[in-house]
């Protein structure tokens, strides 16, 4: 019975102590053992059989039992020790917390002590630095002051939260006082070296002034600005004397001398004072910029006084020299000191034979081709902006009315020359191989327009461009009236101005006032010219909008002028239609007056049909060949003629008298 109970206990114990293979493997790796009692698959029966393999071995059973009991006691002692050790963990934890708290207190004390030592060191540095700063200031040791002052100011920043302490506040006030004294002293030194009145001190700059500039970099920015302002003013004082308003060299015809003077001064500055001022002050550029501001003011003043003496050639000369100088500045300087912002520069336009698809310099205008080109040429990228563009030349803008008036006069003379040339040379000679030629005068007109537009946009992109646009509109209309509409051919029976309804009338008998070959070619040439002017005027409008200020774009509108050229095109087509239509009228009249009741035999072709075909064969090929470059308008001519001739033919057909019965029978 006892053995059964022991076996059940062993089985239950094995069930309780059953571990997973992973845990068992981990235990074996941590605590390796060769003892069979430590094996996971321990079998008590096999273990006993191992201890007592034979009956004779049972004689040692007491000894074996004692060893096992001893082992059990050792295990109990180990377990007891571990359990007791766990009871002391809480007490040990409390001891550790106390130690940690003490360590934290020590850390805080160390941190505070370190901060105190650092602050005391800073205070010592500040106190010593202020004393040294005051002494160096009195001795004008600006080189040492520049290094020391920055350090003192950096150290003083650490004491901003301690300004309530009287000693700290006193040191701060001494630093501010030293800065104020330094600023006043440096300004006085520069005033002595470069007095506002009188000549500059001979010789180059001293090391004292160079070091003083380093100190000014640290002081209030107003000190630096005052130094720059006084130096530049003194440097340009000679310029104001040499180019006073009452001096001969001050007028526009000698404007080159102004720019030559400043170039010499910039070279002189670089040689004498280039190393005195820090590079980041950009003193050379500042001198040039201030010169530009002074020059613009002086030129504006003298031009207001002598406005009546300004002629267009003189004005353009002065503007050209000024823009060249502005280009010189753009190549040499970056423009980083400008305060008025970057002024807009004209962009580089794309290349094309059409005058308004390409913006060449004004001096290269004569090289442009005068034939029509592709209107869809790719555009070139914009050229880099010139930050100095307009910094001086803006002063000429109020006087550009002189330029506009000159262009008005020139364009008027140009139109008169076109009219005179047409009268002297006559209409272009018919050339069916080349088609209807565009009048060369229109290409000359738009090339001149382009030259004016480029020139004016380089002078101003404001109101003067609007005024120039108005001039363009005026002479586009005059060209359409005087050169195109005014030269459309008229018949001998027409009198007065051009009236389409009165152009074509019958002469005596059956003959009509029919256009000659030369007149037909002229009409086609005028039509082609009007079509070219229409397309190029649209390009002109687009280019003007690109050049003018954004706020003025809506005031650029050439729709009325384009409509004028469209009217010339319509009138030309109508002339061609009415000429051919009138030429066919006698044949239609003959058809309607024919005594059809007397017709007894049907021929191959009636005489009136032969006459109509003859006129069509005479006119249509000539018109087709001369409108080869404007095919859509030849198509319009054909449609308009058909729409005019067919209803007229039907009307005359209804006027015909009945044919004879014999004739009708033959027709059937």
Nearest to 182 by CA among 151, 219, 148: 219
Rounded alpha-carbon distances, angstroms, from residue 80 to 4, 13, 55, 83, 93 = 31, 20, 38, 5, 21
Average confidence (pLDDT) over 347-359: 40
Which pLDDT does position 659 carry in this prediction?
A: 54
Which band of pLDDT confidence, cut at 50, 70 and 90, is reported for residue 350? Answer: very low
Can you tell me the distance from the alpha carbon of 410 to that of 407, in angstroms, rounded to the nearest whole number? 5
CA-to-CA distance for 109 and 453, rounded, in angstroms?
82
Give percent of the chain above pLDDT 90.
23
Return the structure tokens found at 152: 């003192």
Tell me what the mean pLDDT of segment 532-552 comes to. 92
The pLDDT assigned to 467 comes to 92
**Arithmetic mean of pLDDT, 96-119:** 74
Instruction: Decide if pLDDT at 492 tops 50.
Output: no
Token pair for 191: 């005033």
SS3 call for 512: strand
Query: Model confidence over 195-207: pLDDT tens digits?
Result: 765 555 544 457 8
Supply the pLDDT for residue 4: 58
Report the range of poorest mean pLDDT among 128-142, 253-267, 526-540.
Answer: 128-142
Compute the average pLDDT of residues 183-192: 85
**Average pLDDT value for residue range 592-610:** 65
- Distance (Å, whole) CA 64 – CA 584: 151
Give me Rg for the CA atoms of the chain: 54
Quote the CA–CA distance of 662 and 668 in Å, as a whole number. 10
Measuring CA to CA, which residue among 149, 154, 159, 151 is closest to residue 120?
159
Mean pLDDT of the chain: 76
pLDDT surpassing 60 at residue 442: yes
Cβ-contact 344, 388 below 8 angstroms: no
Report phi then psi at 506, rounded to 5: -70, 140
Predicted confidence (pLDDT) per residue in 617-632, tens digit: 777 777 788 787 778 8
Q: Identify which of 205, 278, 279, 280 has the alpha carbon closest to the alpha carbon of residue 235.
A: 205
Q: Yes or no: say if 371 and 387 are a contact pair by the CB < 8 Å rule.
A: no
Instruction: Mean pLDDT check: name the lowest of 13-22, 53-62, 457-466, 518-527.
Output: 13-22
* Residue that wins the pLDDT comparison between 62 and 288: 288
**Can you tell me the distance from the alpha carbon of 105 to that of 111, in angstroms, rounded to the nearest whole number?**
10
Average pLDDT over residues 375-379: 36
Confidence of residue 359 (pLDDT cuts 50, 70, 90): very low
What are 496-506's pLDDT values in tens digits? 333 333 333 43
Q: Is it the case that residue 276 has pLDDT exceeding 90?
A: no
Residue 318: its pLDDT value, please?
93
pLDDT at 381: 37
Residue 91: band (very low, low, confident or very high) from pLDDT cuts 50, 70, 90: low
| pLDDT for residue 502 | 37
Question: Which DSSP state fits 472?
Answer: H
DSSP state, residue 140: T
Query: Which residues sit opposite 419 in a β-bridge?
Result: none
Of residues 593 and 445, more confidently modeled: 445
Q: Mean pLDDT check: name the lowest of 297-301, 468-472, 595-599.
A: 595-599
HEC secondary structure over 145-193: HHHHHHHHHHHHHCCHHHCCCHHHHHHHHHHHHHHHHHHHHHHHHHHHH
Scored b (16 or more CB within 10 A) or e, 72-99 reads eeeeeeeeeeeeeeeeeeeeeeeeeeee
pLDDT at 436: 59
Q: Is the predicted pLDDT of residue 538 greater than 80, yes or no? A: yes
Can you give the pLDDT at residue 537? 94
Task: Indicate if the pLDDT at residue 9 is higher than 60.
Answer: no
The three-class DSSP label of residue 506 is: strand
Mean pLDDT of 529-556: 92
Residue 89 pLDDT more than 50?
yes
Query: 170 falls in which pLDDT band (50, 70, 90)?
Result: confident
Q: Average pLDDT, stretch 218-229?
A: 88
User: Among 619, 450, 616, 440, which residue's Cα sits nearest to residue 528?
Assistant: 440
Q: Report the alpha-carbon distance of residue 631 to residue 435 in Å, rounded.
A: 11
Angle value at C-alpha 194, between 188 and 196, nearest 5 degrees: 90
Which range (185-199, 251-265, 414-428) has the least confidence? Answer: 185-199
CB 258 within 8 A of CB 238: no
Work out the burial of residue 619: count CB atoms within 10 Å of its CB; fewer than 13 is exposed, 13-18 middle, 19 or more buried.
buried
For 193-328, strand residue ranges (E) read: none
| Stretch 389-394: mean pLDDT | 89
Residue 346's pLDDT is what?
A: 28
Rounded-to-10 torsion of CA 300, 302, 306, 310: -60
601 has pLDDT over 70: no
**pLDDT reported for residue 348:** 32
**Residue 496, CA distances (Å) to 79, 490, 492, 522 in order:** 139, 10, 11, 20
Tell me what pLDDT residue 664 has: 46
């Amino acid at each position: 019975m006892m053995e059964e109970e022991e076996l059940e206990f062993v089985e239950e114990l094995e069930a309780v102590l059953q571990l997973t293979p992973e845990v068992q493997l981990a235990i074996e790796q941590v605590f390796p053992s060769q003892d069979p009692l430590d094996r996971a698959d321990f079998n008590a029966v096999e273990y006993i059989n191992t201890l007592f393999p034979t009956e004779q071995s049972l004689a040692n059973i007491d000894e074996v039992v004692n060893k096992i009991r001893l082992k059990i006691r050792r295990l109990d002692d180990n377990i007891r020790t571990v359990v007791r050790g766990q009871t002391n963990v809480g007490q040990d934890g409390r001891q550790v917390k106390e130690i940690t708290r003490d360590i934290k207190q020590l850390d805080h004390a160390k941190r505070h002590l370190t901060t105190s030592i650092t602050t005391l060191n800073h205070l010592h540095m500040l106190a010593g630095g202020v004393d040294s700063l005051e002494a160096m200031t009195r001795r004008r040791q600006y080189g040492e002051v520049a290094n020391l002052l920055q350090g003192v100011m950096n150290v003083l920043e650490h004491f901003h939260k301690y300004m309530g302490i009287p000693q700290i506040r006193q040191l701060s006030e001494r630093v501010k006082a030293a800065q104020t004294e330094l600023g006043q002293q440096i300004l006085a030194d520069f005033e002595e070296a470069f007095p506002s009145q009188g000549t500059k001190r001979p010789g180059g700059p001293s090391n004292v002034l160079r070091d003083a500039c380093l100190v000014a970099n640290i002081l209030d920015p107003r000190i630096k600005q005052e130094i720059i302002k006084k130096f530049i003013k003194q440097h340009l004082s000679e310029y104001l004397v040499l180019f006073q308003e009452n001096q001969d060299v001050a007028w526009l015809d000698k404007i080159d001398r102004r720019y030559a003077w400043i170039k010499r001064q910039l070279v002189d500055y670089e040689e004498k004072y280039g190393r005195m001022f820090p590079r980041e002050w950009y003193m050379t550029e500042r001198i040039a910029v201030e010169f530009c501001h002074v020059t613009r003011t002086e030129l504006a003043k003298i031009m207001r006084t002598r406005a009546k003496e300004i002629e267009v050639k003189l004005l353009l000369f002065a503007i050209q020299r000024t823009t060249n100088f502005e280009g010189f500045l753009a190549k040499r300087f970056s423009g980083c000191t400008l305060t008025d912002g970057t002024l807009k520069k004209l962009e580089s336009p794309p290349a094309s034979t059409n005058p308004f698809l390409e913006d060449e310099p004004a001096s290269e205008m004569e090289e442009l081709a005068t034939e029509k080109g592709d209107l869809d040429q790719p555009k070139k990228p914009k050229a880099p902006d010139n930050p100095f563009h307009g910094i001086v030349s803006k002063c000429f803008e109020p006087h550009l009315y002189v330029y506009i008036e000159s262009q008005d006069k020139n364009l008027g003379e140009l139109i008169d020359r076109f009219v005179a040339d047409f009268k002297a040379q006559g209409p272009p000679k018919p050339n069916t191989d080349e088609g209807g030629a565009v009048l060369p005068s229109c290409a000359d007109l738009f090339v001149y327009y382009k030259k004016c537009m480029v020139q004016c946009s380089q002078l101003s992109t404001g109101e003067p461009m609007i005024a120039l646009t108005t001039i363009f509109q005026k002479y586009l209309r005059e060209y359409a009236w005087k050169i195109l509409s005014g030269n459309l051919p008229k018949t001998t029976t027409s009198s007065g101005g051009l009236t389409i309804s009165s152009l074509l009338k019958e002469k005596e008998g059956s003959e009509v006032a029919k256009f000659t070959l030369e007149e037909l070619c002229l009409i086609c040439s005028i039509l082609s010219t009007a079509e070219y002017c229409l397309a190029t005027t649209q390009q002109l409008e687009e280019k003007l909008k690109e050049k003018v200020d954004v706020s003025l774009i809506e005031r650029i509108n050439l729709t009325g002028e384009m409509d004028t050229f469209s009217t010339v095109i319509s009138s030309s087509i109508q002339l061609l239609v009415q000429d051919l239509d009138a030429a066919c009228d006698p044949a239609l009249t003959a058809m309607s007056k024919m005594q059809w009741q007397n017709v007894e035999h049907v021929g191959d072709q009636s005489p009136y049909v032969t006459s109509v075909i003859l006129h069509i064969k005479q006119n249509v090929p000539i018109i087709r060949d001369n409108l080869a470059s404007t095919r859509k308008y030849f198509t319009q001519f054909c449609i308009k003629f058909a729409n005019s001739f067919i209803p007229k033919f039907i009307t005359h057909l209804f006027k015909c008298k009945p044919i004879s019965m014999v004739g009708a029978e033959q027709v059937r």
